[in-house]
Amino acid sequence: MMSRNRVIPGFGLSLGYATLYTSLIVFIPLAALAAEGISLGGERFWAVVSHPQAVASYTLSFGAALTAALINLVFGLLVAWVLVRYSFPGKRIADALVDLPFALPTAVAGIALTALYGRNGWFGGPLEALGLKIAYAPAGIVVALTFIGLPFVVRTVQPVLAGLERELEEAAASLGADRWQTFRRVLLPALVPALLTGFALAFARAVGEYGSVVFISGNMPYRTEITPLLIYSKLEQYDYAGASALGVMMLLFSFLLLLAINALQYWSLRRQGGG
């Protein structure tokens, strides 16, 4: 039997290059972060990561990221649905604008959102008159994280939705299913893995966001201070070990949450395959 020609080198060489590259880019920096944080010692490490200011920043960072990801889960699906299923003037422009948060510097996004939702902004003034304060409040952080996370859900769901056969919907309608039943029993099960992937990407992106949040949050300790900003403050004070300790906690929390999301996605795929 003749051996097949391979476009790339064999498994051993390819695995070696992949491992080396991943180690240089991901594993070694993360190991250095953990080593720097652990160098504080157990007692000092715990004192830094369990400080009330740090705990408040964890709650805000992960709570706002989770809220923004859930909002994008719903409206990202809606945007993807409109872009895939309908034709309208300016559709190409709207489709291109979805990727704008990818290209726009996050600091520029933060300045723009602050101008819009500030007390004298187009949206901020009327909303504040109704008792809804957005800028310099936790709500502003959610708005910023929603802005930067939307493309992840849309671009993950869009190709899956485009690949669904219309015949399935027509068959469901011919069997007497209404629109809601067709969506819930025919379309949604096929979209769940993509939705979970988009949710995980949007959540992970939001947890580590800094540039778009630093302007609109107000950076008030215990109220609107996110963990990345607290880490930056410690770096400005040359407290590298303390900043690394907070980074280790963020890494641990993020890993556990993403592991849970991936487990849920795996369970959904197994259930869908078994069905």
Helix residue ranges, H only, the chain: 11-22, 28-38, 42-49, 52-85, 91-97, 100-103, 106-117, 124-129, 138-163, 166-174, 179-182, 188-207, 211-216, 227-236, 240-274
Name all domains of the chain by residue range, CATH numbers in brackets: 41-274 (1.10.3720.10)
Q: Going residue by residue through the chain (275 aa), what tens digit of pLDDT does each one get?
A: 445 556 666 667 777 888 888 888 888 888 888 887 787 787 888 888 889 999 999 999 999 999 999 999 999 999 999 998 888 888 899 888 898 888 888 888 888 888 888 888 888 888 888 888 888 889 999 999 999 999 999 999 999 888 877 777 667 767 777 777 777 777 788 888 889 889 988 998 898 888 888 888 888 888 888 888 888 888 888 888 888 888 888 888 888 887 887 787 777 667 666 55
Give the N- to C-terminal CA distance of the chain in Å, as an integer: 40
Instruction: Give the C-alpha separation, 53 to 135, whole Å.
Output: 21
